Structure 1
């Protein structure tokens, strides 16, 4: 009697594929929820009022921010990457990893520190008046709390995205490109403009796209600077006007803006493809700079590091030590505990889900696993405010239905069980930052040879046992890195936390925002400094990896 072939649905690897599909469907709930709001009419004509009055301003301001930040991070990131890869000067090896540090500084924290530094009563303007005997009417000083100021803040903290990707691209092709340029009679500057930059264009475009998505997702900076963008409009429509349909429709407009940025990034690549020579990458041998040229290169690397990390960190430290938060005791530790709980839960869940999705994609190259992998990783393209609105709508309906069922079935009078807890907040953060964990786990999993899977199968191990006994030990460092990155991202997250947090549940991020909004900048410095210090942990890991790249 011959045995029947095993059905494809019963294949031992199929359970992982279906689990990854379930994960992707859950991650897609906020997007579907926001998308269905397009067919709902806002109460009281709120949406019509927004379209007639504020929507054009939201569009124009978002466009100005995108253009300004895109140009700024491209110039600063590419310029810094070229200096540390193609030239040799005093301090270059230290600048290679120091230039990444501004990523640890949230943009809204940067906004608070520079406001304190540059406002009329701040030390800079006060020093100018004391030095020259000026009065307020005797001089003009740019207003940091403006659209231009917001652009500057974003450039200072987001240029490392472009810097890291461009630096990697220059290192991979630098030596061969410079030699080819010299053989063609090009100067180093001509080789940079005509060879290095075009070949690194995909990496540069990807870094700019990441920066623009972070810009569009920001709420703390633009709200504090009174810059009208989609995120401030969403928050106002939800809490001030009480119209969740209008908030969801604004969220869909913002999502369309983000998708437009991603589409432009794809179009910028065109049909061009750039491949290496297939040999071991040859790092460029930089020309040794001396004298004023070396000093100029040193100063050019110092400026972004000083403006994006050292100066704001020094201001925060000074304010925290001199004034600081008067509630720095039990209240501060409660805030830190809340931040650690939300960040820790989110990191653990995100890493676990990312491991399942990535492993399913490894075992099953079919369209279902591939689509689930893509859908699970799209959360990072969604701003926190969009995800928060997309989560609150279905969760509120579920809460109301559950409360009605408990009252009718058991006579229990309960409140909001899910919305009133941190469960909804953790879910929103998992959707938002699952991509960061997924990309890190993917990268680590790709470094494990497929022969490991073949050897495990030959020993009779199931896919689940292979994952637990073979891959998890090998991926331990990658899983730790993924969890650390998600942990820090959640610590800095502000829009989703402001919308989703339960009543009387504050974190370090919301405390810093609340105090800064009340113009209590000195008190906000303690929580802000704690966020920056925690953000340095993954930066140290990343910097150590960068320091080893040339080896």
Structure 2
């Protein structure tokens, strides 16, 4: 989102392309680079299946083993608190390091970034680089999964996959819906005239993405269980009936965890879109007589449709492949595609895990393609 005028000014002053990149483009890109690295670090910390398969004693795997295998809830809680504190300190330290620096450079739409057409050897190197990324990151693993799935293609594998597909899509749909709705109203507060305390509370709520799913499950299991206990006591006193574990033993607990875990994804996407749009369109709607729900339905939501679709798609894909929290909080007898893959791979049944793994890829690709198509039609 940097303005092309910055690079043009540097080139006009005699800087080469490489020096312009190192002296102008790269320093101004520090905030998004740090955000990308932070997101990657959080994903690595949250990972459970791959680290257990490769025998790496990551903190998430240790928390899971301490809780499930050793039945040491207190020890797992201590490790979880340590993870949260370390991640929080890293985020605060990075923000403190750039507290006196200004990175804001408004992009001038009249001066788009300069696009250089590569030729000869440079074009070949760029093509090879992108091809290697595509091959190693998508073609090779998906091709191997497809080979394993076709080699052990049986009716039982289809039944197992589709049995897990229904709860996976259901959880992802409702989780994305709840998370985007909360993220939308939270973004309206942070981009509007809300008080500093309200904006601080919302920013604090979006830190859930920094907390691994295992830690969230550990922190919410006891409060949800206590809420179930109080509710059962209430229904027993009023009607002589116990509904059972309606929170900690149902999909509601998973949707709750997903909303906490991925609120940052929804909020950041919608907040950026609202700031880019500005308030002029909303002010124009108010001048023309639109108020309240009418303004929301006729102006606010339509102008944010691409961002809403993007946020919903990102959250949907994240939920489809989420494993740690789902593994710990899923109701009895309910399996998602991620838990089926984990259960099969943990006992070295890789062929049985191939078909559900392919459907995880498809479940992530299809909404991305649909959202992109809808967004392109709206731009036209």
- TMscore range, shorter length: 0.7 to 0.9
Residue 505 of structure 1: aligned partner = 334
Residue 262 of structure 1: aligned partner = 91
Query: Does residue 177 of structure 1 match 2:7?
Result: yes
Structure 1 position 289, deviation (Å)? 3.1
Residue 532 of structure 1: aligned partner = 361
Structure 1 position 307, deviation (Å)? 1.1
Measured in 2, the distance between the counterparts of 1:190 and 1:269 equals: 22
Residue 312 of structure 2: aligned partner = 483
Residue 300 of structure 1: aligned partner = 129
Contact 2:306 2:375 in 1 (8 A): no
Contact 2:310 2:371 in 1 (8 A): no
Q: How does 1:421-460 map to 2 (within 5 A)?
A: 421-458=250-287
TM-score (norm 2): 0.88
Structure 1 position 338, deviation (Å)? 0.5
Measured in 2, the distance between the counterparts of 1:449 and 1:298 equals: 38
Residue 118 of structure 2: aligned partner = 288
Residue 330 of structure 1: aligned partner = 159
Residue 65 of structure 1: aligned partner = none
Residue 150 of structure 2: aligned partner = 321
Residue 416 of structure 1: aligned partner = 245
Q: How does 1:205-216 map to 2 (within 5 A)?
A: 205-216=34-45
Measured in 1, the distance between the counterparts of 2:58 and 2:182 equals: 33
Relative to structure 1, the CA distance from residue 355 to residue 317 in structure 2 (aligned partners, 3 Å threshold; closer, same or farther) is same
SS in 2 for 1:378: helix
Measured in 2, the distance between the counterparts of 1:508 and 1:277 equals: 43
The total of aligned residue pairs comes to 377
Measured in 2, the distance between the counterparts of 1:207 and 1:347 equals: 22
Relative to structure 1, the CA distance from residue 288 to residue 408 in structure 2 (aligned partners, 3 Å threshold; closer, same or farther) is closer
Relative to structure 1, the CA distance from residue 489 to residue 284 in structure 2 (aligned partners, 3 Å threshold; closer, same or farther) is same
Farther off after superposition, 512-521 or 215-224: 215-224
Measured in 2, the distance between the counterparts of 1:402 and 1:285 equals: 62
Contact 1:178 1:188 in 2 (8 A): no
Contact 1:175 1:285 in 2 (8 A): no
Q: How does 1:132-147 map to 2 (within 5 A)?
A: none
Structure 1 position 427, deviation (Å)? 0.6
Q: How does 1:386-401 map to 2 (within 5 A)?
A: 386-401=215-230
Contact 1:399 1:419 in 2 (8 A): yes
Relative to structure 1, the CA distance from residue 277 to residue 391 in structure 2 (aligned partners, 3 Å threshold; closer, same or farther) is closer
Q: Specify the structure having the higher radius of gyration (Cα).
A: 1
Relative to structure 1, the CA distance from residue 438 to residue 545 in structure 2 (aligned partners, 3 Å threshold; closer, same or farther) is same
Structure 1 position 363, deviation (Å)? 4.7
Structure 1 position 533, deviation (Å)? 1.5
Structure 1: runs of 5+ lacking an equivalent: 1-167
Contact 1:325 1:524 in 2 (8 A): no
Measured in 1, the distance between the counterparts of 2:297 and 2:65 equals: 47
Measured in 2, the distance between the counterparts of 1:178 and 1:430 equals: 43
Structure 1 position 501, deviation (Å)? 0.4
Relative to structure 1, the CA distance from residue 287 to residue 345 in structure 2 (aligned partners, 3 Å threshold; closer, same or farther) is closer
Structure 2: runs of 5+ lacking an equivalent: none
Measured in 2, the distance between the counterparts of 1:229 and 1:199 equals: 34
Measured in 2, the distance between the counterparts of 1:525 and 1:373 equals: 40
